[in-house]
Structure 1
């Protein structure tokens, strides 16, 4: 056996954590965030929403179930770096087709293990998420000043548009399963495979579109509805997507947005967005549906949120009628959903399609399906 390579995690504030290389050797830079899920690390790694981020898993033991060809949310790992405390020495799962370590090496993902991830999490909670770098192999021997300078010279997530990095380069079609009720145009801002599966399962022909799609290109498809997906980056850096969504809202096409799509709906309606101190990431966030009073345990991955009035129905600053906050996070009162009362549009900040669970909010896809059916009845259109 060869001796393990050393590695160091360097935070923007100068804090350093020395450990052991995990995955590929070299250096990587990004925004350090923590994810609290006890399971689902493969889904986390392959979620395009994590592009540009170095992800720390708060669960201490990672990798025991290996990786397989079925659980990925996309066809590649998107995280910029990976931080774990105790990587599994062996793989023990009948579905595994390989080890997590090998997958990280094959895809060039630089990681670090053997550090106190509780201490790093507490640091990020106290000071907020920040830019960071992992340096391993020869890069671990660089001077501390040089490593810190590289971190501080890296790009901030604030104002950053990453949609072009994760979106499909070409449009493609997924056909409906079972009884077809219509078509939905999905703007791919980092869409997950499970999202598309839930839409086709509810009778939609799904047109998956590149993030640079124009309104003329979208309307040429004559979709029955429009969906904006999850994705990475700052919604304040996505003015073109906001303008596209406003055109959709003016046409009164039924709209559903998830995560980044929720933030873009907020901005399209005229509200602002802001950066959370350390975001919501994991599969155990309590959210209340204010229409039913039911609390759902939900999956999250976002660092930005919509700034809209929580306790009252407000008028859209952009002129789209009345808007209510439909869902609220019970931990910090952050807006978790929007419902437009005068146009057929709603969104949620969390991930009802979460493949790693939980599935408390899966009913939202049924709500979207019914919204499309009701809208067609109102207008007299047919699929």
Structure 2
């Protein structure tokens, strides 16, 4: 994807970077992001305030579009023309792709002064590095492997909150008999992948997950365990309503809030929907790890990669990196976003019960080896590979005649796409 720009980038980078350094005001940081609504916009304003307090000029470069696709298109054109912003919202393996182009700034001096290697789990720090050097700063951690439950609906059906997949199907049967949709789901490829990821982790465990979706090990992808995962995943379809195809995730969350459905497997951004409906964690809704995944934590992290600049702009850029990682910003941003700080040593007193549980598990899994990048959310593999595997999983979900064995072969082949 980005490699096609290599020749243009190399040809234009030196001239462009010199012109940026000359054109930029002293201490100016231009920040490309897609935080254009609600709590995210408030968080961006807080970061701007911190930078202004240090005497720097903030130049907002906001590009609307939730997943950032529009922003990435704009960023590519800016970098190719030799005019990159100081920082851009980039995550996961895409950081490595930009690193390959030689356009990212080295942040090691900031990281050393601020002790990033101490306050970040190694698995998170590694995502922020290119060839051992820090080039990006994380703003948050989203936990993906959550099960959201309406406890009142379960109680009426005589069902309990499931902790493994056998219990999940028992609960689903009881909910269905009670006339409630057991699993609220939006039939979109990324949502299909989110649920599949939870099933794979719950049945296979952390080592299986790492081999299959981080290392892309062919033997694991073609294993009997993967066939079992796919068979279990397909069983869920019986408990999803017929209006699921194309449904947005927040509308699926609304079904749980309204008592039309009992459960949903979704990342912690779903919590914002419950809170906006004035629902109280632990009372009106339950957040619990997806079945079988209590000792694991799949993460999706927003981060800012820094592009090579010089002079006063480079100094301001490093102050920006330090500000992003400051406890002050990490707290404000994540209280607004529904996620948790990327730092391990944070005071979580102001966070709700789901946030506190998430942080506790984040710390515990960072020590146990259960802290894992969510492949479904772009944290474990290059985008082309992710898209191919995601397509294979959605095809299996939507094709009743496809066997688990056929799906295994499709996923293994998709893992070779680059």
User: Which is richer in strand?
Assistant: 1
TM-score, normalising length from structure 2?
0.25
TM-score normalised to structure 1 length: 0.27
Structure with larger RCO (C-alpha < 8 A, sep 6+): 2
